[in-house]
Structure 1
Amino acid sequence: MRRTYYQALLSRGIGHQAALRQLGNLLVGILHGCLKTKTTYDETTAWAHLQPTA
């Protein structure tokens, strides 16, 4: 999912460095949420906002 998010940023015309920065910020936010709620990282939960809805 990280690659998909990065590629989506690039396809929107965002440069490499800015895309990496946005991806890093998102990952830090996910880590913060895990630490705050004392839960383990789950990729399906962390990237649920990018999953297509049924």
Structure 2
Amino acid sequence: MFNYNSDDTLCKKNAYNKRNSYFTGTVDIVTIDLRQGHVIVTEIHVTFIVK
């Protein structure tokens, strides 16, 4: 789910899509600073679909 480079603490974006399951959605992770140990989630959008 996380997509980042240890040498890059600038914005990274990784979209997680799960299909043919109980839910589908995207999770956007932005601004990961490994030196400070901070993980900032600026947007979470998940739509649950019961099948």
- Which TM-score bucket, shorter chain as reference? under 0.3
Bigger fraction of residues in strand: 2
Compute the TM-score of the two structures, normalised by the length of structure 2: 0.21
Compute the TM-score of the two structures, normalised by the length of structure 1: 0.20
Bigger fraction of residues in helix: 1
